[in-house]
Amino acid sequence: MPEKCRVGVCGFDPMLVKGYVKTGFRALWWHISDEIYEEYNVKPNDKITGTLHKVYSGAGKLADVKVTHEPNEPFEWQLSMESGLAVLLPPEVIVKYQLTEFHFIEVTIDKIRGEEVWPGEDKTSVKMWPEDKMELPFVVDFIAP
């Protein structure tokens, strides 16, 4: 069974993301679990496929955290060229869902390099970000390119 996870989006200030989206430079990313990285011998530039289930906006108060999108759409994204631990979010995904480093995403990882992840097993990642930890000290809104 694929690995389910809810992860914090990492990246640059939304003003920099605005420029990076236009140039195609990496702007936002998230990290795969160490377990997948080690078990599947993940390499830089590998492809990861899965499903993007939900996008959550982080907020200053837990009561204000909300699901902004529920696309349930498949993806094929690239892992970083340095280590392969970071999954790069494509510019079109950033713009479509108005992502910033103040968002969380819920995904299912199906394959790495075309190889099924945890076949026959049901795994919830150690990267399942707890809902009660989505409260952030501050947030900055998306800035469209």
Buried b / exposed e across 109-127, counting CB within 10 Å, b at 16+?
Answer: bbebeeeebbeeeebebeb
Cα–Cα distance measured from residue 108 to residue 78, given in angstroms and rounded to the nearest whole number: 15
Amino acid in position 34: D
Give me 52's structure tokens. 């993007």
Lowest mean pLDDT among 5-19, 86-100, 102-116: 5-19
135 or 72, higher pLDDT? 72
Q: Where is 106: in which H helix or E strand?
A: strand 103-112
pLDDT for 124 beyond 90: no
pLDDT for 15 beyond 90: no
Contact 37, 117 (CB under 8 A): no
Q: What percent of the chain has pLDDT over 70?
A: 99
The reported pLDDT for the residue numbered 1 is: 59
The reported pLDDT for the residue numbered 51 is: 97
Per-residue pLDDT, averaged over 73-89, amounts to 95
**What are the start-end ranges of the H helices in 1-145?**
14-23, 34-39, 91-96
Cα–Cα distance measured from residue 86 to residue 42, given in angstroms and rounded to the nearest whole number: 10
User: Do the strands 47-57 and 66-69 form a parallel or antiparallel pair, or are they unpaired?
Assistant: antiparallel
Per-residue pLDDT band at 49 (split at 50, 70, 90): very high
